[in-house]
Structure 1
């Protein structure tokens, strides 16, 4: 059994979740951690059992023994850090949002192809049992066609203009941080819209803190999406279909749920409670692809990531969301 040395670039809350997932996988060696703060890297490495700790991202990328790097730095640095890792011969899984805009994502993909290395956006929902169950139900035809999708994600972090959620220099705003999930839902279950309308509210730092987005499709289907740092609704989406409805959500208890409401039948609920919140399945997919000499995942192909970032760019243009340097 081939094993892979994993590196973590930017040890934070997301990296901690991912590391807990890696520990479940026999093929994953928790090898290296890189941070701008050597003390932080050493603490993370000690807590999760990584073998090497580096006080810079460059040292992590230069370590020839690291096979795969998980990137969890702020959105505005994903492009830079992905290119650096690829140019140092590392396969990469990078957190969403993949980058700030389409140009950056295109450059990342081009570099991965030039280097013949694996690249994937870490899109958590695609690997989860509640998403697979939703697809199974839709494929069965019991709900008929989807007519409307309502997606949401909101919570109430304290306002701090230096925090990545509110700092424009770091790609701050609810859209790229949490609003991306309803957009993923719409693209996954319906597709790329032909018409987009938005309304956004902005924080004192200039970052978008609440946004409502409407999608319209040539088929007549519609979607309305909402994300906010001002309300506390949690995360989910509801599919309104010809023969009933389906709610696909993750609760505050971290359980995943699918609630099925077929007309004329009792309501059914399916609950899933994967270990480590299911983050290990993303890492498992990366290693499966490498075992099979694939440079992208058929589960989250780079074409989907391009559709996603192009849609996010269209939303930002409509809402007037601009990041420094664009």
Structure 2
């Protein structure tokens, strides 16, 4: 028998059946040691439709019913930001491993509570910041760690798109954590944290919609020796959505939609080389974090060695710090 055939197939559940859940479910179908076993929505009709579309065996009309299913090994939480803590702790209490969509929760206090519960129950918990696991991003991290082009001098990273204001859309709903910072500003912040670590200090300014959520956020992370990260997010205008690392002997540029499967351009000595990582056009890119999570679960690990609790704590602290500066409260 092959090692693959000896591996237990992990039964997955999904809580919250919006756009990201559809992408996750699509990619889950490509993983041999995993199956979509159950899904849960706030309505039976939506759960039934989603289950039919992706071949799930069970469809629940409440999140609690899914958490009470003893056959589920792992759950992907794709509900709005404000529900992440509540949903994660509910599943951890039942002994279900949790992959929780970013941002992990609304603030550092909530993240600490989730981690404490995972440790109490001795259950695997990980923040689903999928970019960390994409091959092109791992490649860039190694190039920067190896100082192939010397030390980083400056980072520029952005994420912006334009969408009509609509309070029925969770993105514009303050009650569930809407706004640009938590939803997409987290990606440029992640790019800086994962390469330069925690900044010495932060500058930030934002614009706001009438309901109090941020429509755009511009940040400068200062790292000393005049090393800076210029980061921005917006749901008012389209940005290149790139991550550019200016180094002493060259530049590494993650091209458009750097947080998704993308290409990397290396610029040095007046020459440019673009690397294509051969991503399968039939996937969205969520399978890489899921395969990592499956491996952790199969090996009995309780914490990721890539998306560590320490990293998640630092990421949410940066989000909290920026929110404090721009006076964004929920």
Q: Which TM class, normalised by the smaller chain length?
A: over 0.9
**1:94 counterpart (78, 88, 100):** 100
* Gaps in structure 2 of 5+ consecutive residues: 1-6
Given candidates 268, 288, 299, the residue that maps to 2:273 is 268
| SS of residue matched to 1:77 | helix
Measured at CA, do residues 33 and 277 of structure 1 come closer, stay the same or move farther in structure 2, by a change above 3 Å? Answer: same
- 1:11 aligns to 2:17 (yes or no): yes
- Which residue does 2:265 correspond to in 1? 259
Shift of 1:251: 4.2
CA distance in 2, matches of 1:266, 1:149: 20
Q: 1: CA distance between counterparts of 2:256 and 2:32?
A: 27
Contact 2:242 2:255 in 1 (8 A): yes
SS at match of 2:202: strand
Return the offset for 1:265. Answer: 4.3
Q: In the alignment, is the contact (CA less than 8 A) between 1:7 and 1:68 conserved in 2?
A: yes
Give how far 1:302 is off.
Answer: 1.0
Q: 1:299 aligns with which of 299, 303, 306?
A: 306
> What's the TM-score, normalizing by structure 1?
0.96
Superposed displacement of residue 274, structure 1: 2.2
1:163 is aligned to 169
Pairs aligned (count)? 321
Q: Which residue of 2 aligns with 1:198?
A: 204
Range that drifts further, 243-252 or 231-240: 243-252
Output one character per residue of 1:239-263: Cα deviation in whole Å (capped at 9) or x when no partner. Answer: 11111111113449x650111111x
C-alpha distance in structure 1 between counterparts of 2:11 and 2:164, whole Å: 37
Once the two structures are TM-superposed, the CA of residue 271 in structure 1 deviates from its matched residue by: 1.9
Q: 1:149 matched to which residue of 2?
A: 155
CA RMSD in angstroms comes to 1.3
Ranges in structure 1 where 5+ consecutive residues have no aligned partner = none
Query: What secondary structure, in the 3-state scheme, does the structure 2 residue paired with 1:44 have?
Result: helix
Tell me how far apart the structure 2 counterparts of residues 219 and 84 of structure 1 sit (CA, whole Å).
45
2:293 to 271, 286, 289: 286
TM-score by length of structure 2 reads 0.94
